[in-house]
C-alpha cells in the first residue's frame, strides 16, 4: 500500500459569512504558489518518514498518524436509498464545501443516480 494525496489546484480564500465555507477565489500570489509548494514538500517529507518507520517495523496504524489530512482514503460503502438521497441532496448543494460537492457528483455518476423519485430509481 502506497498512500496517495490530494493537493488542490489552488488554495481558496476563507468565506467571511460561514466558518466552513470557502470562496472560489484563489489566495493571492505569491502566497498561493508558496503554500502549495510547501504542502507538496511536507507531503513528500512525511511519506519518506512513514516509509522509514514501517521499514523499521513500526506498526502501520501508528506510522499513519504522521501522514497529512490530504491523504486519500479508500472505503467501501453500503447505504440505504433514503440515505443516498439525503447525501446527494445535501452534498451537491452550492453551500457544501467544494471537495465534498465533487465527491458527491462522482458518486452520482458512479452509481447512475437519477434522483429520489421512486419512478427514477436504479
Task: State the total domains in the chain.
Answer: 2
- Greater model confidence, 53 or 1: 53
| Confidence category of residue 117, pLDDT binned at 50, 70, 90 | low
Q: How far apart are CA 9 and CA 7, in angstroms?
A: 7
Verify that 79 and 65 share a domain, yes or no.
Answer: no
Verify that 15 and 57 share a domain, yes or no.
Answer: yes
> Which positions are catalytic?
91
Q: How far apart are CA 80 and CA 57, in angstroms?
A: 40
List of long-range contacts for 58-61, beta carbons under 8 Å, 24+ apart: 60/1
- Domain of residue 122 covers 75-122
pLDDT tens-digit series, residues 47-81: 999 999 999 999 999 999 999 889 888 878 888 88
Enumerate helices (H) and strands (E) in the chain, giving the number of each.
4, 2
Is pTM beyond 0.85? Reply is no
Verify that 93 and 45 share a domain, yes or no.
Answer: no
- What percentage of residues in the chain have a pLDDT greater than 70? 93
pLDDT(22) > 90: no
Q: What is the pLDDT of residue 118?
A: 56
Amino acid at each position: 500500500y502506497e498512500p496517495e494525496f490530494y493537493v488542490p489546484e489552488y488554495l481558496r480564500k476563507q468565506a467571511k459569512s460561514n466558518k466552513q465555507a470557502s470562496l472560489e477565489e484563489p489566495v493571492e500570489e505569491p502566497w498561493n504558489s508558496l503554500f502549495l509548494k510547501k504542502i507538496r514538500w511536507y507531503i513528500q517529507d512525511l511519506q519518506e518518514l512513514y516509509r522509514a518507520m514501517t521499514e523499521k517495523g513500526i506498526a502501520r496504524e501508528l506510522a499513519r498518524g504522521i501522514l497529512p489530512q490530504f491523504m486519500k482514503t479508500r472505503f467501501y460503502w453500503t447505504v440505504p436509498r433514503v440515505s443516498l438521497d439525503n447525501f446527494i441532496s445535501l452534498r451537491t448543494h452550492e453551500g457544501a464545501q467544494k471537495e465534498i460537492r465533487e465527491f458527491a457528483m462522482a458518486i452520482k455518476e458512479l452509481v447512475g443516480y437519477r434522483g429520489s423519485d421512486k419512478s427514477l430509481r436504479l
